[in-house]
Amino acid sequence: MRLPAEWEKQAFVQLTWPHPDTAWYQLPEVLDCYVEVARAITRYEPLLVVCRDVEECKADMAARQFQPEGLPIRFVESPLNDTWARDHGAIAVCGDEGRKFILDFVFNGWGLKFGADLDNQITRNIYRCGAFAPDVQYRDMRPFVLEGGSIDTDGAGTLLTTAECLCSLNRNEYLSREQIGQKLTEAFGLQRILWLEEGGIVGDDTDSHVDILARFCAEDTIAYTSCEDPEDENYTRLKAMEAQLQSFRTLDGKPYKLIPLPLPETLYLDDYRLPGSYANFLIINGAVLMPGTGSPLDEVAAARLRQAFPDRTVEVINCRALLSGHGGLHCITMNYPAGW
């Protein structure tokens, strides 16, 4: 088995579309953002939209002057609780002799924090509806709990993750850390796992998903969330994570090229600090889509990502509304490699 890197050629990206019964605090603004994300993705590659009702979804798009007709968009209906495709979506792996699989892990609402009975069935539903190529095989990974946002890979056998999330209560607490690592190694054909012991962003309710903290940009390059303000409540944990990243080595024993991304401007919903992160970017064919907030810091972060992806266009999409649901651009998307 091999878990492909996100920068490898892709077949399509999945979005799971919000509706009035999903738990979004600012639904009109969130739908505006989803349309902008869909618009950007379809400039580069096909899009799969999972929704509870296709006509309802198309009406949302039409109300925002986005017409899917003529664009590379497919719709699949499925009941759903929420819309975080990164975490309830399938994870694609390459098998021996060109075999292709989607792995369907348990999604339990980030450790039983939120209802997920419908979301946990989405991958199976869309597989049965023909969302994937005919030669893609379905593999049920139950009872193991895993969210796509909790892992990142270089595509060459190294997995980056956080101990806080994978070893948290209400996920796989019946397993030791060594047993969790063994299951990941078997599922993804890994050579090693880089465990982040430190790092976290105030307001995050995923138990420190790695996709808001540190991301592979190439086999030798990691972009990460940095904090330089000692007065910021994120400072201590992010500095400790930075030190650990500096200690990591590539498979051939060299230090990683590290690209620090600033924390976005501090935003609140009522008195709750929202967990913004420029590391929550999405790599697609020919581009990197980065979540912004409309702050001047957006361009600072984008300029640094352009160093990491000189052969791709870096586009900034205002995802401020997504922060009302404590997530970002990478969180609402799931990418699938070419052939899937």
* Amino acid occupying residue 4: P
CA distance 154 to 7: 9
331 tagged catalytic: yes
CA distance 6 to 154: 8
Q: Strand ranges (DSSP E) for 120-246?
A: 136-145, 151-153, 158-162, 192-196, 214-218, 221-226
Q: Are strands 221-226 and 192-196 parallel, antiparallel or unpaired?
A: unpaired
Contact 34, 26 (CB under 8 A): no
CA distance 338 to 9: 5
Q: Identify the CA nearest to 96 among candidates 42, 137, 60, 128.
A: 137
Q: Identify the CA nearest to 245 among candidates 263, 229, 264, 259.
A: 259
CA distance 60 to 254: 49
Active site residues: 331
